[in-house]
A and B are shown apart, each in its own frame.
Chain A
Amino acid sequence: MREVRRKFVLYAMLAVFILLLLILSIINVTNFTMAAADADAITAMLAENKGRFSEKKNEAPDFAQETPQMPGSAGGTAPGDFSTLPFSPNGFGPMGPDSPETGFSLRYFTVRFGKDGDAKLTVYQIAAVSEEEALAWAQSLKSESKKNDVTGWTHGTYRYRCYTRGDSVFVTVIDEGRELTPSYRILIISLIGMVFGLLISFLFLTYISKRLFKPLEDADRKQRQFILEAEKEFKIPLTVIRADTELIERENGPSDYTSSIHRQVSRMADLNRNLGNLALFNESAPSENCSLSTVFETAASEAASALETAGIRLTAEWTEGITINANPEALKRIADELLDNIGKFAVSDALIRSEKHEGRIILTVSNDCTLPDGSCDNVFDRFIRLANAEDRPGAGLGLSFVKDAVRQIGGRVSAKVEDGRFILQLFL
């Protein structure tokens, strides 16, 4: 359940991030695009007059004589005539291209290239760029512009227009640094806002997910507890049924029916144990450093008599000193399941080997078998039983538990049949 909650927070954060990024992008791209459009409007206006402001536009209006009127208002201009508005329709405001202040505040230069290609600085109203630099920039921009009337950004915050008037080519470059400053501020503020937004979202989602998932976690815990209690309750009845069946056989002789009872009891006992394993497997169970060889040797000693009865010779090859950080109970159950598997399906011999390879612990459990060669990774799916399991007890849950438990400790499993041996490998 913790894993589910973690994924919930992760995906929710991803959604918030994408949404914020989208909003941020729309705002800032629009902002910069509009800034570029504003600059282009100014360079277009300059281009009308060969790279300079017209005399008329540079004059300050006489507000005493010309009072701006709303269009259509009494005594004002005709409807639709926006020429006297303080703001032009494209929203530039008092500092737009139509503003008489623009000519005074704009930092720009214009270079004219004659028919023979010689460059002349016709307007130089800028301090940050020297005349030599201005000529060099213009030369470079003219060379790059393949078409007439090309606009673009150059040297960061400078907007240029390259255009032809008559026989001459003009390059006008305006300094948009001051105009772009608010846009950059908006970009930085929106980025900072996005980071804060993400942080606040993360904290909120972490808090809210705890409350949202608590009922689910409680239900999951109760379900596991119920299964574990039920598993315990089933054990004694299964023991009694086995013993009673044995008594019936001793008194009346074995029959197909008593054999059937034995098989079904074994199957139920196996299923019961596996259900308990799956319920016990708890992602929040505490971990500690466990010696792999000790855990498996304990499990092997418990399974020794069963293996001996089945005529299976078990060989163990341990690399000393291998420890693993895992829940000891889960590790013991993994060992029990693997040994139980050997007891059920091995023909005559089995091998358990541990080794370290490139920082990973590899535990190999192999036994001879009657299966055909090939991969059998599906053996880790629940309720899957291979061909040699038809007349053996079990419900197909044991290896499923092993896979889940190994994954919980960050490992993986694989299974294959090769040269008549069933080989299971745990990469821990």
Chain B
Amino acid sequence: MKLLFASAERDLLLCYSRLLQTEGREVLTAFDGPQLLSQLSGSPDLIIADAALPRLDTAGLIRFLKNEGIRLILLLNDKKQKNAFRENLPEEAFLSYPFSPEELEEKIRETMNLTLGKAVIS
């Protein structure tokens, strides 16, 4: 499986890129919007991105991924962020800070087990 992990926090990027590189996963990383978009050419199966990634139109990204059929997990620092994206993402697509590695793994399993149509399209 190929994952794309995007966060402006370098330390978070560092530890989770290592953690996620288990069980044969390939992990791409991005620390801002333009880099995330450029990494999309790597065709990730799942994108895990911070909802407040710098220089990224998150709503636009969600619409784009919906059209492309790419699964997304949105990392939230503030529950108010959820309200902004709730219309276009299912409840399962949100994960709030602070989360544990186990919680992220559980969320990845949930998201990947969803049918492609439901994962991004509400």
Interface residues of A (CB under 8 A from B): 232, 234-236, 238-240, 242-244, 246-247, 250, 265, 269, 272, 298, 301-302, 305-306, 309, 329, 332
Contact = CB atoms under 8 A, between A and B. Distances in A.
A246 B97 contact: no
Given A236-B9, A236-B77, A305-B110, A246 B19 contact: yes
Nearest to A235: B97
Contact of A242 (B78, B98, B110): B98
A261 B79 CA distance: 26
10 contacts: A235-B97, A235-B98, A236-B77, A240-B15, A243-B12, A243-B19, A244-B15, A247-B19, A272-B98, A301-B91
Contact of A232 (B9, B18, B77, B99): B77
A239 B99 contact: yes
The residue among A236, A250, A298, A302 with the most chain B CB atoms within 10 A of its own CB is A236
B101 interface: yes
Contact of B77 (A235, A243, A247): A235
Contacts of B79: 329, 332
A305 B16 CA distance: 21
A240 B91 CA distance: 24
B78 A239 contact: no
A332 B80 CA distance: 12
Interface size class of B (residues with CB under 8 A): 20 to 34
Interface string B95-107: 0111111010010
Contacts of B98: 234-236, 238-239, 242, 265, 269, 272
Given A242-B99, A250-B19, A305-B106, 11 more contacts: A235-B98, A236-B9, A236-B97, A239-B97, A240-B15, A242-B98, A246-B101, A247-B18, A269-B98, A272-B98, A306-B103
Interface in B20-66: 22
